[in-house]
Structure 1
């Protein structure tokens, strides 16, 4: 058995955060027959409701994440992943189709304005920790070959090998990224706004429903991690 564990160092900074975690097994990432052709186009349009005002930083969802990122050390220019999605939608340069799995979870992320990570379970080594980096932990971002190092005080996800997500929910690691050949997935989706608790649960349910309806994949029961429930067991 392996776990995703939220360390005390994280709770010391963010005591009110809730994180939805879930897994999916036996995936066929080539089967997109039931994915609506306009899924991503519609999601990009829905996403605009979260960022109606200029500049984008004053919209509550974006402002909350910007404020959170000021509480720990980040790489210069790092923004939460959902801000990037919303910015693209706002500027009519919305995210396009990538592969069936990514398209489905991106559609949820856009429509509900929460970051969603999907990591290849079979590539995770040991337990996953959401923690504060000591500095020097290695990381290879998706789409790049150059190895980076986490900064001291940076919030990261890591497994027993290296960092799998830098600056909390900014960029994911190429090593554990889902691909066309991924068979098993670990999802996590963070909510930093207590008043959006219901939205967060609805987004998790939407993810589960869309994977079932569009991809014929059953996501395991949703678990909400918080300061009173700090770990989740997953089995490869």
Structure 2
């Protein structure tokens, strides 16, 4: 079965105004970081502070957007959107550090524009990526953990034909599909749940594409998914 991306109607019932940018890239080299600026993440962590100037962190509009979104579905206790975790670290002076070139680039864009960005190894994905609402009890193997977890009934998840890829929408990724130095083919997705941030979302997409191209010679294919266009097959 070929790869693709689809959003189930159960998701649109909760988040009908969401737009999701999906990007793919093929035959990439994720081992040469010679053109990635050494201070890329330091600058991104500084720029991130503009999004979280208020105290407590939950008072900031981009954080509030995601806090409210997470109240619409069943979540594991303490789960927060991935971008809140990044911005919180930046605010605390514990900004995210280097991992590998591709991950560093998408983390830098996530920090500068305050959108969650998921990046995964496309070769490890079985069939289509699906954004849906879990019936519960689906297996998830988180990065950095030895034990699997079960999803909750009503939890928004990303999954493929084999198992869960990300819990609580944009919270935590599966170890199976993480981007490594050996990754050759990629998929990214970036959600915007606030229609008023449409222009920001467009600029974040363009910056991600530009940095991947300029620093790693990676050209991307872009697809925008909405309630009216909720599935795509990758060429």
Superposition TM-score tier, normalisation by shorter sequence: over 0.9
Secondary structure of the residue aligned to 1:224 is strand
Matches within 5 A, 1:42-121: 42-121=43-122
Q: Which residue of 2 aligns with 1:223?
A: 223
For 1:192 and 1:146, the matched residues in 2 are separated by 31
Structure 2: gaps (5+ residues): none
For 1:36 and 1:233, the matched residues in 2 are separated by 34
Q: CA RMSD in A?
A: 0.7
Q: Which residue of 2 aligns with 1:149?
A: 150
Segments ≥4 residues shifted beyond 3 Å: none
1:185-227 Cα distance to aligned partner (Å, 9 max, x none): 011000011100000011001000000001111112x221110
Structure 1: gaps (5+ residues): none
TM-score by length of 1: 0.98
TM-score by length of 2: 0.98
1:28-71 Cα distance to aligned partner (Å, 9 max, x none): 11110100010000000000000000000010000000000000
How many residues are aligned here? 234
Give, in angstroms, the shift of residue 127 of structure 1: 1.4
Matches within 5 A, 1:77-226: 77-220=78-221, 222-226=222-226
Give, in angstroms, the shift of residue 233 of structure 1: 1.5
